Chain A
């Protein structure tokens, strides 16, 4: 992580385009499927054919309101769609239907966690609804380009932050938090590779204490958290270099090149379009009544922050574990299902889910929703620890066998004969055998070498093939060694 030079500060604002996961487009009934054959997900409305009219998809409105409520924003009781004009081949109507003066969401905020554990509030200026454009296709064409309008008309919300962010790391923390929220809410699939969640970064620098912001640049379409960090760091460094060399920053749009980690100028403000916004006369204003907003508020899912606090409070988890287990809605649900079904200590469940299960999934590059072990099956394993059928060490072996697809916990325990030995006479026999075979160590232990206790535990455990109940083994071993 690069440091901002002494005496300088960066001012960063982010614009995030978040694709709403609706069944159909924002102004037409055409389906939205990523990766479909070009121009198969577009109807005459999306193609901007003559005489075609937009009809608003109410699900997009619902999702935008859902977002607004989850970031403590104001929901406009009346908002308006506006036309934003520019000519480009992937923009069929010659204008994009967006929102301008009256967006649906305004004045929200988000608290992010900084590396030192403190929190910082980032303002959300607004979030407005708009339609996506199509895309140009250059591959496979000679002396011409193709246009694929599958994406045209896909519903987006553009979420604009206040310029409250000061470092690339804060920017990433904000983005990750935002990403987590929209995915939690189920309003966006969050897939950054497919462009469902993409970010433009507005960056400027100034001397600390300077009364005004410096001239900013906008770096477009950075599609991973790591790239956002790199692009912002590059841009901060570049701008400081320019200013320290006595130069001036030009207000411009820049593109990030992931191969070089650099940004380059795309167009300056002088080339900027005059978008000639005006209210779209084909669409009526959207009116959100109190009842409508209240109903959406009532149906909001528990958000990560609240869930994390509840996990700490109700399950006695550490904040670290609670954060890990609430990182996705699916993981949290999995964990809660395991606790409920196993009857085991919530902390024990947390250790197993956060460490063993996530570790195994990580190795397989799988998400929790693709876990080979269902929450119920996993709970069955933990239940056997709780009822002392197996001990923790054996459980690790059973878990691995489960991951390998060898059957349920009970099947594996039975097939491998792994049931814990609780018969004290059997444990005593094993202990006596160990004591008999290691007279020197016994003498040393009795002479005060306490550390040797672990050696005896190991030997005795080995003699029972690891199946001895650890509590009983410890107790009996202490008794016998005391002589």
Chain B
């Protein structure tokens, strides 16, 4: 059952080939048998899942099922789930049981989806390898000596290993797309403001956006459709109707123009990856897509800009974790200052502390103008690059997603800058607020890689359609890591 696509699962449920309870139990069994090794889940919620499955079965029996009713999923542990621990990969929130649901949790529950559990992630989504999680690293199902990427490492590993048919994820600088590329999945980060951030634990508020990782663009379209939309509880969510993502999948992509930014194809990409991305371009040409060389001149500034803006916002967003009202509190502190210092010192891991310090520094009196304000100006320039390209007749932009295939544990964990350069291709989309996705395009020595599509604001439907057409013509996305196929 775990190799089925979402529409196949929905059909199976509708035709009573299996019940949601059976499907859910199947996944719970797989998690029990296989996740010990992968560490994708930090919390499995079998009771909640089976109760949701029973409710879904009743809906199906009553003929009231929607396309997602009864289909299981995993939720990244960054989304607050009522009555279930929401730890965000951190010791700080190890004891935090949320009293409310995130809007997207509410929405997917309302669709009748079944939550199997909460997924591992880099601490507070800060990381590109899932090595910063308090709950230990997640292993890449394609090679368990390698990282799955991050921060949504649990999300991709669980879908890649067949421990959930689909999973939610979040992306602040590439946290959906880079891990998707490293695990042969399709991952989409929609336009900033398309999905509510209410109940999603903030890392960098102006960059964070929720999305999904899936086995195909089609599967992703179904869940994105349900997650998207205006939410009055999030002032930055956009009040605009959601396009029909699913029925948008059948369109021809003939005559579409895709831009190839020269800055993204300069040095730095592994030769094997480059060859596969170029091959993907050829495939798309075969489908009638026109390619045009373009320039996004400010894109080399993306990484430094991001590492000012994101830590600045993070240092502010994480100030609330002080040990006073919830979360980790140091034992036996003798003064208020000591309570803060020790609670935060003990509760946060090294990478989180590093970013809080960078962020605090760039916002400090006397440095604000030189760093934060300057970064905001450059951010504007990066956005203007894309705006110009889209105004110039470019429908989508194509680039590699990651510089290389998955690296080994420990390879980059001692070198923060090398780790930060993982996100070199993905960060600009977050800074500009535009939608972007990654989809599989082949293997280098048995390890998957992907390419990235970036689109204009609210062009999710077009992007998903191009990805779907590509996946109709290729079968990379259908490959499974041998150990988990059966």
**Which A residues fall within an 8 A CB radius of B?**
44, 47-56, 83, 85, 87, 89, 92-95, 147, 274, 276-278, 281-284
Contacts and interface: CB of A to CB of B under 8 A. Distances in A.
A94 B368 contact: no
Interface in B165-217: 197-202, 204-206
B233 A55 contact: yes
Contacts of A281: 204-206, 236, 313
B322 A278 contact: no
A85 B316 contact: yes
Chain B CB count within 10 A is highest, among A83, A85, A282, for: A282
Contacts of B480: none
Given A51-B98, A51-B198, A53-B235, 5 more contacts: A51-B79, A53-B198, A55-B234, A87-B319, A276-B363
Given A44-B100, A51-B200, A276 B235 contact: no
A1 B322 CA distance: 48
Given A87-B322, A274-B365, A276-B360, A50 B98 contact: yes
A388 B235 CA distance: 66
Contact of A93 (B96, B199, B319): B319
A217 B20 CA distance: 69
A358 B365 CA distance: 55
Contacts of A282: 202, 205, 235-236
Chain B CB count within 10 A is highest, among A49, A54, A83, A274, for: A49
A147 B322 CA distance: 13
B199 A51 contact: yes
Interface of B: 79-80, 86, 88, 93, 96, 98-100, 102, 197-202, 204-206, 232-236, 312-313, 315-316, 318-320, 322, 324-326, 336, 340, 360, 363-365, 368, 372
A46 to B, nearest CB: 11
B319 A283 contact: no
Pairs A-B, 7 closest by C-beta atoms: A94-B319, A281-B206, A276-B363, A281-B205, A48-B320, A51-B199, A50-B201
Contacts of B363: 85, 276-278
A85 B322 CA distance: 13
B316 A95 contact: yes
Nearest to A50: B201
Contacts of B340: 87
Nearest to A39: B325
Nearest to A44: B100
A276 B311 CA distance: 13
Contacts of A54: 235
Contact of A53 (B197, B312, B364): B197
B202 A51 contact: yes
B202 A276 contact: no
A278 B320 CA distance: 16
B316 A278 contact: yes
A53 B193 CA distance: 13
Main secondary structure on B side of the interface with A: loop
A283 B368 CA distance: 20
Contacts of A51: 79-80, 86, 98, 102, 197-202
15 contacts: A48-B320, A48-B325, A49-B98, A49-B325, A50-B202, A51-B80, A89-B322, A92-B320, A92-B324, A93-B319, A276-B364, A276-B365, A281-B205, A282-B205, A284-B235
Contacts of A49: 98-100, 325-326
Contacts of B86: 50-51
A44 B326 CA distance: 12
A53 B232 CA distance: 10
A284 B236 contact: yes
A47 B363 CA distance: 24
Contact of A278 (B93, B96, B100, B368): B368
A83 B198 CA distance: 19
Given A50-B201, A56-B235, A278-B363, A89 B316 contact: no
Nearest to B198: A53
A56 B235 CA distance: 8
Given A51-B199, A51-B200, A53-B233, A89 B336 contact: yes
Nearest to B232: A55
Chain B CB count within 10 A is highest, among A50, A51, A87, A94, for: A50
A278 to B, nearest CB: 6
B88 A50 contact: yes
A53 B234 contact: yes
Contacts of A53: 197-198, 233-235
Chain A CB count within 10 A is highest, among B312, B319, B325, for: B319
B308 to A, nearest CB: 11
Contact of A50 (B80, B206, B322): B80
Contact of B324 (A89, A276, A277): A89
A121 B368 CA distance: 36
A83 B320 CA distance: 12
Nearest to B99: A44
Given A95-B316, A284-B235, A50 B96 contact: yes
Given A85-B319, A95-B316, A283 B235 contact: yes
A52 B99 CA distance: 11
Contacts of B80: 50-51
B50 to A, nearest CB: 26
B13 to A, nearest CB: 31
A350 B99 CA distance: 59
Chain B CB count within 10 A is highest, among A51, A93, A147, A278, for: A51
Contacts of A283: 235-236
B310 to A, nearest CB: 11
B430 to A, nearest CB: 12
A278 B206 CA distance: 12
B251 to A, nearest CB: 34
A56 B232 CA distance: 10
Contacts of B204: 281
Contacts of A147: 324-325
Contacts of B319: 85, 87, 93-95
A392 to B, nearest CB: 63
Contacts of B236: 281-284
Contacts of A50: 80, 86, 88, 93, 96, 98, 201-202, 320
Nearest to B80: A51
B449 to A, nearest CB: 33
Contacts of B325: 47-49, 92, 147
A44 B115 CA distance: 23
Contacts of A95: 316, 319
A55 B80 CA distance: 18
Chain B CB count within 10 A is highest, among A87, A93, A278, for: A278
Contacts of B324: 89, 92, 147
Contacts of A87: 319, 322, 340
Contact of B235 (A55, A89, A93): A55
A44 B201 CA distance: 13
Nearest to B313: A281
Given A51-B198, A55-B232, A278-B372, A94 B322 contact: yes
A83 B315 CA distance: 12
Contacts of A83: 316
Contacts of B312: 278
A52 B312 CA distance: 19
A140 B363 CA distance: 39
Contacts of A94: 316, 318-320, 322
Contacts of A47: 325
Contacts of B326: 49
A189 B102 CA distance: 36
Contacts of A44: 99-100
A406 to B, nearest CB: 57
A283 B236 CA distance: 7
A44 B360 CA distance: 25
A50 to B, nearest CB: 5
A52 B234 CA distance: 9
A208 B318 CA distance: 50
B416 to A, nearest CB: 22
A85 B312 CA distance: 12
A274 B366 CA distance: 10
